[in-house]
Amino acid sequence: MLEITSAEGIYMFDAEGKEYIDLISGIGVSNVGHRHPKVVDAIKEQVDNHLHVMVYGEFVQSPQVKLAHAISTTLPEKMDAVYLVNSGSEAIEGAMKLAKRYTGRSKIVACHDAYHGSSHGALSLTGSESFKQNYRPLLPGISHVEFGSTDQLNQINEETAAFVVETVQGEAGVRYADTNYWKAVEKKCKETGTLLILDEIQCGFGRTGRFWAFEHYDIQPDILVSAKGMGGGMPIGCFISKMEIMQVFTNNPVLGHISTFGGHPVSSAASLATLQVIENEQLLRDIDRKEQLFHKLLKHPKIKAIRSKGLMMAIEFESYDVLKPLIDRAIELGVVTDWFLFNDQSMRIAPPLIITMDEIKKACKIILQAIDDVFPR
């Protein structure tokens, strides 16, 4: 097991000073790289002001206000209410509660092979029985459909509070649907009064080449969930909606959702800096070119397919037994990759958005060397 003692940009270093290219961004977290100077400066500045001072929402805290405003500027005008929490799982929990409270309904539809977190409610949504079987009974009233199938959307009806779905499925191995599917989803939700909750915990904050992945499909969620890449390496998450929906948390009960550490001022400052880095350094401008370079370079008889949406990629091999030694060998050679929870025959590639074309060439050369080392031709 690696012991990492420091990290900078796209690189991590072990106790002996050996360099590793991080091709998974700490599982979708380090979108602007490790210890980006702007993020580190924002953290230090906030630490010099204050840490936790009060339960979220009780005092006005400028890091939270500034972050919420900045997030809202990246979204459609009506999505102007941001609730800050500590993680993706917690954001999903809040979104589920919000949908049930607003609609007065209890049923939720999610997708097979979806991953929404490990807390009890989020786990109930997760679409892998092997992940859930030892923790039952879970939340009732949750059914699952095939992602990308319009034929199964009839399970969304007037009893459904929300359809919770990843805009791009992460742990399924980077699975995505076309615009026709998303338009059908949006139409079905509107017809039935169901809230569309888009989980962009992995695919948001620039990962796919747009700030939000739903921008690829000309749709708009009722509730949007974010975490991972939004913190620049610090723990934070949020769920976002329009004020008309979010305001139901203000009554019956008066504190409809509570978080002691939600929107921690240091994490909020880091998140705001992360958002500004993505925008000011125009990190989304070259994502398509970088994606195409990976496709161009990663060619080998052992590679069966490549699926990608921006810098969220899955390199498919024959089986886990083929993939696992490749991952191990790549780490020995200085490149860190991984597999997916529900797709263990595909290699996860999701580097920091700051990775350069030359660094992509270097990383791909090492991956191909790892394949040849394990399976000599």
pLDDT at 56: 84
- Asked if the peptide bond before residue 235 counts as cis, ω within 30 degrees of 0, the response is no
At residue 1, the pLDDT reads 80
The pLDDT, as a whole number, for residue 264 is 97
Q: Are 147 and 172 in contact (CB under 8 A)?
A: yes
Whether the upstream peptide bond of residue 265 has omega within 30° of 0, thus cis, is no
Distances (CA, A) of 201 to 87, 112, 222, 237, 293: 9, 17, 16, 8, 25
pLDDT tens-place string over residues 24-68? 999 999 999 999 999 999 999 999 999 999 988 888 899 999 999
Residue 193 neighbours by CB under 8 Å, 6+ apart = 103, 158
* Euclidean distance between CA atoms 228 and 207, whole angstroms: 11
Hunting for tokens 């060619």 — which residue is that?
Answer: 299
Q: Dihedral of CA 149/136/132/256: which sign?
A: positive
CA distance 184 to 195: 14
Alpha carbon distance 58, 180 (integer Å): 43
pTM confidence score: 0.97
Q: Tokens 């970088």 belong to which residue?
A: 290
Amino acid at 195: L
Classified as helix, coil or strand, 110 is strand
pLDDT of res. 81: 97
Q: Are 226 and 237 in contact (CB under 8 A)?
A: yes
Helix H or strand E segment including 142: strand 142-145
CB proximity list for 154: less than 8 A, separation 6 or greater: none
Q: Which helix (H) or strand (E) holds 166?
A: strand 160-166
Cα(12)–Cα(246) distance, integer angstroms: 40
- The DSSP bridge partners found for residue 101 are none
Which parts of the chain register pLDDT below 70?
A: none
DSSP β-ladder status, 107-111 and 160-166:
parallel
pLDDT of residue 347: 98
